[in-house]
Amino acid sequence: MLGQYEELDKKIEKYYAAQHEHPWRNQFHIEMPFGLVNDPNGLSYYNQKFHIFYQWNPFGCEHKNKHWALVTTTDFIHYSKPKIVLKPKDWFDKDGCYSGSGFVKDDAIKLVYTGNVKDKNNNRESYQCTATYHQDGSVTKDAILIKNQPEGYTAHFRDPFVFQINEMFYMILGVQTNNLQGRALLYQSKEFKDWTLVGELKTSMPDFGYMWECPNLVKVSEGKYAFIFSPQGLEAEEVKYQNIYQSGYVIGQLDVTVPALNHNEFKELDMGFDFYAPQVFTHDGRTLLIGWVGMPDKDHEYPTAKDGWLYALTMPRVLEYRDGVLYQRPVRELLGLRGEPALQVKPIVCDHYAVEVPNRSAEILLDLDLRQNDEVLITLACEQEYMTLHYDKVRQIVTIDRNHMKLGGKGVRKFTLDVQNELKLQLFIDRSVIEIYYQDGLEVTTLMYFPKTEVMNFAINSASAVRINELKLWQLSAIQYE
Ligand code: FRU
């Protein structure tokens, strides 16, 4: 009899050996052949390849059995097939090898993750563990680095992110105080072995949700660090914090000795419906980000579980620090998915313009001159179902409305966008994920949608004539698993 994991390997091989025509199977977003994928983990560049680890339950579409799996790539177009690297099989991680990070050291990747343990009354224990991903692709679990949380905090203590400053290694972790406030703790180690607590990261967010998940600390310019994290428990406002949980960042001067971050205001990384738990890493002068296309505690909003899979990862994005904020752009490698433009519209002034997207694996670049307009409405329709993107130039508010889709999550998301002259959009339309980049990446909205038909109609409508400076459409080819 084959063991559980040999069966799994066979199932993976079998999946990729066949063609899949499911209307919601994404073409250029990383997703799993089956099971539930969530947070990206351990992002690193090693052995001339980008290593993308992530949370995967390969045995079902529930949030349990969390493994770490891996795909590698050199170009973000050709990927290795998913492979399990950490199994929740030891006493210290038996209820999940939870999220964490990777650090290339001594010709290997040091993986650092949270071992989640629950007793029969559902009491939780959290162990920060390390494993080594070796040259030959084998993995050894090495040690428990931190047993349980320090005094003053609950067992919601997880998602270690390791970075280095000068010769010292640091680990930042998300945690909850005994009076239920989200915080981050900083540890340090000279040898990557004995980790000592430096302290709780001092910020000016004393009352900012009940838990901070998935912290990242990354240098974005000389003397400036971005602290990226996923706070839970923020109250929704008209143009902010509209999802059940948020992901965003603050930027400022980091003093690891206190430890303290003297920072600016929190900004969400993605104003769409389905984005959470992003992770970043730096390679060759680029800071790359990958997020989870999904949301905890909302599984019922996603209809693919009955087909055996759930969720995806975002397109890899490059972060650029400009004017106090992080701009996001898909990595330039993804230009390789484009062929010749399927459509290229000469500048035109009109109050209605519609384009057919024959195959929902497409990119649309749109530049509208809004100097003479107060508002514009963009409709993404699949026969009778549709979503709208409305821009109100007077109030400077974008509204995305998913209420007219039949299946999947519905609702409205609003955010502010300052447009003086041109509204610039770059839309990446995949089978069940859409990422929209606004004003060269100043804002992004990621969402999932589950239409019944292949063809999409993309329409621009305006009460008074609007000038379309640019409208281009490409069909995008699919990423490959080899
Ligand atoms: C965020 C998260 C992490 C945790 C992981 C478990 O989505 O809840 O805090 O480590 O998912 O899969």
Domain 340-481 = CATH 2.60.120.560:
yes
Q: Is the CB of 296 under 6 A from ligand 1?
A: yes
Q: Whose CA is nearest to atom 9 of ligand 1?
A: 213
Q: How far does residue 99's CA lie from ligand 1's centre (Å)?
A: 6
User: Is 39 labeled as catalytic in the residue annotation?
Assistant: yes
Q: Residue 214: CB within 6 Å of ligand 1?
A: yes
Would you write out the chain's pLDDT as a tens digit for each of its 482 residues? 679 999 999 999 999 999 988 999 999 999 999 999 999 999 999 999 999 999 999 999 999 999 999 999 999 999 999 999 999 999 999 999 999 999 999 999 999 999 999 999 999 999 999 999 999 999 999 999 999 999 999 999 999 999 999 999 999 999 999 999 999 999 999 999 999 999 999 999 999 999 999 999 999 999 999 999 999 999 999 999 999 999 999 999 999 999 999 999 999 999 999 999 999 999 999 999 999 999 999 999 999 999 999 999 999 999 999 999 999 999 999 999 999 999 999 999 999 999 999 999 999 999 999 999 999 999 999 999 999 999 999 999 999 999 999 999 999 999 999 999 999 999 999 999 999 999 999 999 999 999 999 999 999 999 999 999 999 999 999 999 99
Pocket test for ligand 1, best of 32, 68, 99, 246 (most atoms within 8 A of CB): 99
Ligand 1 atom at minimal distance to the Cα of residue 116 = 10
- The finding on whether 55 has its CB within 6 A of some atom of ligand 1 is yes
d(Cα 248, Cα 270) in Å, to the nearest integer?
Answer: 8
Going from the Cα of 55 to the center of ligand 1, the distance in angstroms, rounded, reads 8
User: CB neighbours of 363 closer than 8 A, spacing ≥ 6?
Assistant: 337, 338, 426, 427, 428, 429, 473, 474, 476
Handedness of CA 175, 97, 312, 40 (dihedral sign): positive
| 92-to-37, 82, 374 alpha-carbon distances in Å | 22, 24, 58
Answer for the pair 161, 175: CB distance below 8 angstroms, yes or no. Answer: no
Q: Where are the domains of the chain?
A: 29-314, 340-481
Q: How far is the CA of 471 from the centre of ligand 1 (A)?
A: 39
- The CATH architecture to which 29-314 belongs is 5 Propeller (2.115)
Residue whose CA lies nearest to ligand 1 atom number 1: 277
Taking the centre of ligand 1 as the mean of its atom positions, its distance from the CA of residue 45, in whole angstroms, is 23
Q: How far is it, in rounded angstroms, from Cα 401 to Cα 435?
A: 14
Choosing from 32, 38, 183 the residue with most ligand 1 atoms within 8 A of its CB, the one to mutate for a pocket test is 38
In the prediction, which pLDDT does 2 show?
Answer: 75
> Ligand 1 within 6 A of 158 CB?
yes
The pLDDT value given to residue 1: 66
| Residue 213 near ligand 1, beta carbon < 6 Å | yes
How far is residue 437 from each of residues 143, 238, 328, 367, measured CA to CA in Å? 42, 21, 8, 12
Q: Kindly state the helix (H) or strand (E) to which residue 130 belongs, with its residue range.
A: strand 124-133
Q: Which residues 6+ apart lie within 8 Å of 285 measured at CB?
A: none
The pair of three-digit structure tokens given for residue 171, joined into one six-digit string: 């680990």
Asked if residues 369 and 354 have their Cβ atoms less than 8 Å apart, the reply is no
Pocket probe for ligand 1: among 41, 61, 98, the residue whose CB has the most ligand atoms within 8 Å is: 98
CB atoms within 10 A of CB 333: 15
